[in-house]
Amino acid sequence: MTIGTPMLRKEDPKLLTGEGKFVDDIHVSGELWMGMVRSPMAHAKILSVDVSEALKMPGVHSAYSGADLNGMGLWAAPLPCAWPVTEDMVNPPHFPVAAEYARHVGEIVAVVLADSRYGAADAAEAVIVDFEQLPAVASLDEAVADSKMAHSDLSTNKAYHWALEPDNAAVEAAFANAAHTVTGNFVQQRMIPAAMEPRGVLAVPSPHGGELTLYSASQVPHLLKVLIAATTGLPENKLRVIAPAVGGGFGAKLNVNPDELLAATLSNKLAKPVRWTETRSEAAFSTHQGRGQNQRIELAADADGKVTGCRVHLDADMGAYMMLITPGVPLLGSFLYTGVYDIPAFGFTCDGHFTNLTPTDAYRGAGRPEASYAIERAMDMLAAEMGMDPAELRRRNYIAGGDHFENFTVSSTLAFDSGHYGPNLDKALEMADYDGLRAEQKKRRDAGDAKQLGIGMVTYVEICGLAPSRALGGLNFNSGGWEHATVRMLPTGKVEVVSGSTPHGQGHETSWSQIIATKFGMDPNDVEVLHSDTALSPLGLDTYGSRSLSVGGVAIAMAADKVIEKARLMAAHMFEAAPGDVEYENGSFSVKGTPAKSVHIAELGFGAFLAHDLPDGMEPNLQEQVSFDPPNFAFPFGTHVAVVEIDEGTGNVELLDYIAVDDCGNQVNPLIVEGQVHGGIVQGVGQALFEAAAYDEDGNCQNPSFLDYLVPSPMEMPNIKTDYTYTPSTSNILGVKGVGEAGTIGSAAAVMNAVVDGLSPHGVKDMKMPATPQRVWNAIQGVTV
């Protein structure tokens, strides 16, 4: 079960039997439950907070308003934003509990502590808060209009203006000389990430030792540790953060949240364990949301359909506050608006705006699905405008004409590691039977069938492997992009791998074991992976941005190589040979020419542990570590084809078929790759057809629960047909790219291209997401909504 084989996951038996422990499964005696009192208004002045009734309730320990907490001196700094995208970005201070103003529905205005889950909920309801309602900025459009302020002490809702304009003159010239231009105005609706495990936290103090252990349903325990220290003033070296089993993240568990800080400081202050688990309906307020952008993209093309220029402006909805990377999400997409195409002139600007809504932040793909959506919808609009087949238009514009390339610098200034788009498209079209589909579409159109076909395609590219630390520095992102690994050969020949990556469903334990199994010629079941606990794995930058394999996995491979090199010296010493004469293959060292005499690397662990007979100057123990900072990002790509059936009588869109041909470079575990592709696709399909966080004019979220927020169910999805091409990355020694977000980056545009294609006989040129039956039906009737 080496690299490239579909090994069954090591994680599964525990999870399949209920043995896996999620945060809410872990209990300690004496624990207090937090209950959050949340603002019912999107924008209000807090006049008074009365906790006296709550305090009288049985089992209630204490209750605090925001002012109480501020008075207790619990905060060394506001909640952190790690990505001040510009020098002059507006970043109003944001504390875990609001003291003076509530700026979105669900912002915490008081917290109660009680001895049970139900008791905390009851006590929170007994807190009486007096508000004075203020006008609320209840949508991105209202924020841009700027006639009401989301923060009453600010004179504009605009938080920043950011530009990526390498050559504006070239862009102007491209548009001045264009034979065809198209403009797409797209709305990336707000999405509720909806990981199936709600977020939760448990803080366990050690009153006399001063230590604090925090369990959190987090993708980023390492970042959390640093940032809890920075925001609470608790000494970082007294903090231990553990992300136990984590039930999906999708970006939503990549943050530093009020509840985490409250649990940490209150447990420390009260010398009591403190816990909280969000309810699903609460999650619409207590966990950030995704997307929330208005996009304008313009393409200029010559008479042959060669795209010569691309100009993009975004208005991005920050929500009420800047969370960890809120302002940077659009920037993550900015470099990808030219997609897989060789478009010589490019310009991008983005304005970030405050609204009185739940803050936005990373959601699967973070900026890149938005970019892919815009360019891929615009390419379809251009194809329609020119009367050209969308596959043909794409072919004409691929980088390197669709041939294999390495290290190609696109006009957005990034150097794509490698790509080979032509055969990838060919494979997808063949699997979809594209010509057959078009023939069937024509047949149904000619016959005036009640159910019409729509066919949509995309070729996406994504940036993953976040990230070269210097590149992040250049973007003003206050974090490195390296990942750390330690590989340790134990005395008995088993291996421990310590990784700074933090899985929450991705199967790292399996993939990392396969990497070691390949390097050391051993059974992957003899490898144990330690992760997600800052005491076991002190160094790490965690899991997001499809970085785990291409940064964290590569770090493990590099550390394994260092172990091999040390072991080679030991073997040479043992064989009384020169190290250069010692060969290594599949775990075994032997002297050139005498293969019969050999030693397996697993056998050297004991000698390194005994240290009785090591080469002069060699340190005992066989373990090595690597902090790998990638020299470049990795750029996976793929072609997806969506086939929808539109019921012209009801407007219902059914996804009939979905074909995905992805290229994530070399694969470590094809089974896991496939799973990531499937899940990613469905999340994009959800955005295209079903999901949207809906707000009324007062800024109330109208669908916070699963009754109204339509996470796709098994019924709405077809089976997905997958295949792959393999174009190794040049950014790392494994040639791997990343696949965690790829499906999502391709699928929303593929489905919407299919929907618009299906509706094109009605003159429909674009449609807003989600393409609900009502929207589709209206479009068929010629009504735009």
Partner 1 sequence: MKVDLTVNGSAMSADVEPRTLLVHLIRDDLDLTGTNVGCDTSSCGACTVHVNGESVKSCTMFAVQAQGLEITTIEGMAADDGTLHPMQEAFRQCHGLQCGYCTPGMVMAATSLLKQNPSPSEAEVREGLEGNLCRCTGYHNIVKSVMSAAGGA
489: contact with partner 1 by CB under 8 A: no
- Which residue, among 288, 382, 375, has the nearest Cα to 334 in the 3D structure? 375
Span from 84-92, 317-325, 368-376, 679-687 in contact with partner 1 (CB under 8 A): 679-687
Nearer to ligand FES, 418 or 676 (CB): 676
Spell out, one character per residue from 259 to 298, where the chain touches ligand FES: x when CB under 6 A holds, - when not: ----------------------------------------
248: contact with partner 1 by CB under 8 A: yes
Smallest separation, CB 644 to partner 1 (Å):
17
Reduced to 3 states (helix: H, G, I; strand: E, B; else coil), residue 57 is: coil
Q: Which of 242, 505, 563, 626 binds partner 1 (CB under 8 A)?
A: 505
662: contact with partner 1 by CB under 8 A: no
Name the DSSP class of 634.
Answer: B
404 binds, among ligand FES, partner 1, none (CB under 5 to 8 A by kind): none
651: contact with ligand FES by CB under 6 A: no
Q: What number of other Cβ atoms are within 10 A of residue 777's Cβ?
A: 18
Smallest separation, CB 11 to ligand FES (Å):
11
705: contact with partner 1 by CB under 8 A: yes
B/e letters for 192-216, b = 16+ CB within 10 Å, e = fewer, are bbbbebbbbbbbbbeeeeebbbbbb
Q: Which of 45, 269, 280, 395 binds partner 1 (CB under 8 A)?
A: 280
Nearer to ligand FES, 39 or 218 (CB): 218
Reduced to 3 states (helix: H, G, I; strand: E, B; else coil), residue 262 is: helix
Q: Which of 152, 168, 279, 407 binds partner 1 (CB under 8 A)?
A: 279
8: contact with partner 1 by CB under 8 A: yes
198: contact with ligand FES by CB under 6 A: no
312 binds, among partner 1, ligand FES, none (CB under 5 to 8 A by kind): none
Nearer to ligand FES, 178 or 245 (CB): 245
Cα separation values, 70 from 109, 124, 262, Å: 12, 19, 12
- Which residue, among 524, 37, 466, 82, has the nearest Cα to 285 in the 3D structure? 37
Name the DSSP class of 417.
Answer: E
Q: Which of 80, 248, 369, 422 binds ligand FES (CB under 6 A)?
A: 248
> Any bridge partners for residue 736, and if so which?
665
Spell out, one character per residue from 458 to 497, where the chain touches ligand FES: x when CB under 6 A holds, - when not: ----------------------------------------
The Cα 764–Cα 782 span in angstroms is: 8
Nearer to ligand FES, 24 or 380 (CB): 24
Cα separation values, 379 from 170, 305, 459, 475, 689, Å: 20, 10, 10, 28, 20
Question: What's the token pair of residue 358?
Answer: 């739940």
Nearer to partner 1, 163 or 711 (CB): 711
Is residue 391 within 8 A of residue 357, CB to CB? The reply is no
245: contact with partner 1 by CB under 8 A: yes
Tokens 């619990």 belong to which residue?
74
Give me the residue whose beta carbon is nearest to ligand FES: 196
Cα Rg of the chain, angstroms: 27
Q: Which of 8, 154, 196, 610 binds ligand FES (CB under 6 A)?
A: 196
Nearer to ligand FES, 281 or 687 (CB): 281
Among positions 308-337, residues that touch ligand FES (CB under 6 A) are: none
The Cα 591–Cα 581 span in angstroms is: 6
Residues comprising the chain, all counted = 785
Smallest separation, CB 713 to ligand FES (Å):
12
Spell out, one character per residue from 490 to 529, where the chain touches ligand FES: x when CB under 6 A holds, - when not: ---------------x------------------------
Question: What's the token pair of residue 256?
Answer: 């530093």
244: contact with ligand FES by CB under 6 A: no
Smallest separation, CB 645 to partner 1 (Å):
15
Q: What is the total count of residues that contact partner 1 (CB under 8 A)?
A: 58
Nearer to partner 1, 372 or 744 (CB): 744
447-453 long-range contacts, Cβ below 8 Å, gap at least 24? 450/647, 450/648, 450/649, 451/645, 451/646, 451/647, 451/648, 452/645, 452/646, 452/648, 452/758, 452/761, 453/643, 453/644, 453/645, 453/646, 453/656, 453/758
Which residues, 6+ apart, have CB-to-CB distance to 463 below 8 Å? 332, 335, 336, 368, 414, 633, 634, 635
Question: What's the token pair of residue 119?
Answer: 């008791």
> Any bridge partners for residue 416, and if so which?
408
Smallest separation, CB 678 to partner 1 (Å):
4
Is residue 217 within 8 A of residue 198, CB to CB? The reply is yes
504: contact with partner 1 by CB under 8 A: yes
Q: Which residues of the chain form contacts with ligand FES (CB under 6 A)?
A: 196, 247-248, 505
Q: Which residues of the chain form contacts with partner 1 (CB under 8 A)?
A: 8-9, 11-22, 24-25, 27, 117-118, 194-198, 245-248, 250, 279-281, 504-507, 671-672, 674-675, 678-683, 705-707, 711-715, 717, 719-720, 743
